[in-house]
């Protein structure tokens, strides 16, 4: 069994990756930005029922600083670099996101290379793949890159694209280490703590009845357990070195379809979930006065299809369905009391 460094252990994907690594018999080293975040990680692992939690070593390191990374990588066979800035709202200055994401990836790769790590698996995003392209019929795969010269590219999308490009450039320029990249779409599945990503907030907003009608929006989703599984496969499979892998469950699913799946699966616990829909113009009008709606208004009636064929073919990856990812997310929100059923 191997020793694996997982960066950003208090994150959604990272915690699930740690659970699966421990279940597979590996030892884990994980970084947190401050020592007090260790408690949050331990709570998440306990909620997930992770075995052998004594095999987890906690270290302090921040993507914005160079200290701590050499110590974190020392003795590791593999690194899952999952940590990355993910804001609840887009910053006014895009450098607040781009710098830590790009420079942090470089710090982790350099520390891993110097420590003799075999391979780094970088968590990138569909944000680095599918934006800035006008062709609505295109099915995105690992050969695609976001066009940063296009109008309306958000700071987050820029940060993920630039950070992944920088990681590949580092390996090509300096060598000495293998790199594989996982590019997830919107991640749902069982939550383990109260800090919710923008994708999970969609489910919590539906579940709590805050949306009077579903907007005409579609999203690609994937279960967090399958994202973690794909990381582990990319970590050990010889074919994965030098490859990107899109993590997507299947076809895009609409907000309305998610709502119907929650109502069908959860019964009275989902009684607040709307089954109504409203046209785009209603939400564009609301965007003038409601900031959360303003953030999604640019994505109305946009469908981006993505393929998971490569991960299935090369790594034998078999993701859960869109509906299972959404329902398991909702069930965990109710179970942890983050959203209360009527």
Question: How far is it, in rounded angstroms, from Cα 40 to Cα 18?
Answer: 13
Which position among 160, 272, 284, 310 bears the catalytic label? 160
Q: Tokens for 244? A: 């990107």
- Is 272 known to be catalytic? no
The helix (run of H) or strand (run of E) holding residue 167 is: helix 155-174
Q: 74 in helix, strand or coil? A: coil
Q: 277 in helix, strand or coil? A: strand
Residue with tokens 């710090």: 107
The number of CA neighbours under 13 Å toward the Cβ of 239 is: 9
Question: How far is it, in rounded angstroms, from Cα 285 to Cα 268?
Answer: 32
Distance, C-alpha 219 to centroid of its chain: 14
Q: What are the φ and ψ backbone dihedral angles of 244, each rounded to 5 degrees?
A: -105, 150
DSSP tag of 110: H
Q: Tokens for 51? A: 């075995």
Q: 179 in helix, strand or coil? A: strand
Question: How far is it, in rounded angstroms, from Cα 192 to Cα 200?
Answer: 12
Contacts of 285 (CB under 8 A, 6+ apart): none
Residues with a catalytic annotation lie at 160
């Amino acid at each position: 069994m191997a020793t694996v460094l997982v960066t950003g252990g208090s994150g959604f994907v990272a915690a699930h990756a740690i659970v699966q690594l421990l279940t597979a018999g590996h030892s884990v080293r994980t970084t947190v930005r401050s020592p007090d975040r260790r408690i949050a990680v331990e709570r998440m692992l306990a909620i997930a029922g992770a075995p052998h939690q004594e095999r987890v070593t906690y270290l302090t390191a921040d993507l914005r600083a160079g200290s701590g990374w050499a110590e974190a990588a020392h003795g590791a066979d593999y690194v899952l670099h999952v940590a990355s800035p993910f804001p609840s709202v887009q910053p006014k200055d895009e450098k607040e996101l781009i710098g830590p994401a790009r420079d942090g990836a470089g710090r982790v790769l350099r520390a891993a290379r110097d420590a003799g790590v075999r391979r780094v698996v970088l968590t990138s995003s569909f944000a680095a793949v599918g934006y800035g392209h006008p062709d609505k019929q295109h099915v995105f795969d690992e050969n695609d890159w976001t066009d940063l010269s296009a109008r309306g590219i958000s700071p987050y999308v820029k940060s993920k694209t630039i950070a992944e490009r920088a990681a590949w450039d580092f390996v090509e320029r300096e060598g000495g280490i293998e790199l594989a990249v996982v590019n997830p779409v919107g991640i749902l599945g069982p939550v383990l703590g109260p800090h919710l990503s923008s994708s999970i907030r969609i489910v919590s907003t539906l579940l709590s009845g805050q949306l009077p009608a579903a907007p005409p929006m579609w999203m690609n989703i994937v279960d967090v357990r399958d994202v973690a599984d794909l990381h582990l496969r990319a970590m050990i499979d010889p074919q994965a070195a030098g490859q990107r892998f899109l993590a997507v469950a299947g076809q895009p699913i609409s907000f309305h379809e998610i709502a119907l799946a929650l109502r069908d699966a959860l019964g009275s616990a989902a009684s607040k979930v709307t089954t109504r829909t409203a046209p785009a113009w209603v939400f564009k009008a609301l965007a003038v006065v409601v900031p959360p709606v303003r953030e999604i208004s640019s994505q109305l009636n946009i469908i981006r299809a993505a393929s998971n064929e490569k991960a299935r073919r090369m790594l034998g990856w078999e993701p859960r369905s869109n509906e299972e990812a959404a329902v398991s997310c909702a069930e965990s929100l109710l179970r942890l009391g983050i959203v209360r059923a009527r």
